[in-house]
Amino acid sequence: MLLIVNKILITFFLIIYFYIEKIKNLRELEKDKPKISIFLPIYNKEKYLKRSIGSIQKQTLREIEIIPVNDGSTDNSLNILERLAEKDPRILIINNEKNSGSLYSRGMGILKSKGEYLMCLDPDDQIRGSNSLKYLYNKAKELNIDIISFFILYFPGKAKSRNYSNFNEIIKQPELYKNAFDKDGQLSDFYITNKLIKREVLKSAFEAFKKYIFLKKWNYYEDNIWSILAYKFANTSVFLNKVIYIYYQNNDSAMRNRNNILELENLLFRHEMYKNIFKEKFERKYLIAGCSQLIDIFANNTDIISYNKEIKNLFIIKMNEFIKEYTIPKELINKIKLLIFKIKA
């Protein structure tokens, strides 16, 4: 009998011991877990990397993870990243063997990240000041919010090489402007770079979207795809009247050197993705917005479409399907029919 009691007591104390150790380990893991992970999709951006990554490193919030995703760069980008990583253990380099596009690179950044919150920084841009990340993180925790959006400050291309350390100096420049509202005065919030997002939210977006990520290379408009998906999986969001992100409009960006045929193919692909993901009635606005943008861009490229039989036929099929499947405004239906008529002529 005594032997049985001893065995029970030993088992009980072992359970308590292992439970305490588990709690300790969890606390240690939590202590080491970054508060914010920032990922940068990089393709041939050697001349901007020290500026962009430097703007992260100088933040007063130290519990951060920096994830540069080298997307098969052919310049010196990878060597620069490796030298930076030698000096800063918070830098985790992901190296794509071949160029796969920003969509894929951002997906890899999300997948490999460990931070409580995630943020995307384009490698030729930078984070304003030194206290921005601490401010965002504290605000996110205080409000218990899934997505915090903020203002972007734009530099036109000719100002790209100037590195302002004083924000007051920046806003005095007449060539600079804040762009958060569209021409109708509505908030234009379809960027992924102007957001701090809970990791679980972007991870859910990745899981819902991963088959599209791996389906084909996609170079244009991928940031608003991530943004819309983030809102789909978030429960709460807020927009702060504060400039956090500084954007440099460079002449060597993908959007400025895009291939028109590839862009049109990507737009049709994106339209199909919208239809498959945003089927719920309350998300109809995303379908309408996506289709309207697609029509406007195709309307400006009728000469290309008319001479490319594959794109022309695919566009006509997709638009006719869209009219049949969804209740859309009459004005948009008329725009679609007029465009189909023009490219058929």
Spans of all domains in the chain:
1-32, 34-248, 260-344
User: Is 34-248 CATH 3.90.550.10?
Assistant: yes
The confidence score (pLDDT) of residue 80 equals 96
The confidence score (pLDDT) of residue 174 equals 33
| pLDDT tens for each residue of the chain, 345 residues long | 566 656 666 666 666 766 665 555 444 444 568 999 999 999 999 999 999 999 999 999 999 999 999 999 999 999 999 999 999 999 999 999 888 888 788 888 998 999 999 999 999 999 999 999 999 999 999 999 999 988 888 776 544 334 434 444 444 443 333 443 344 433 345 678 889 999 999 999 888 777 766 665 555 556 667 777 788 888 888 888 788 998 887 666 554 445 566 666 666 766 666 666 666 544 666 667 667 767 777 777 777 677 777 777 877 887 887 777 777 788 888 888 888 888 776
The confidence score (pLDDT) of residue 27 equals 44
The confidence score (pLDDT) of residue 225 equals 72
| pTM attached to this predicted model | 0.70
The confidence score (pLDDT) of residue 286 equals 63
10 Å CB burial of residue 158 (0-12, 13-18, 19+) is exposed
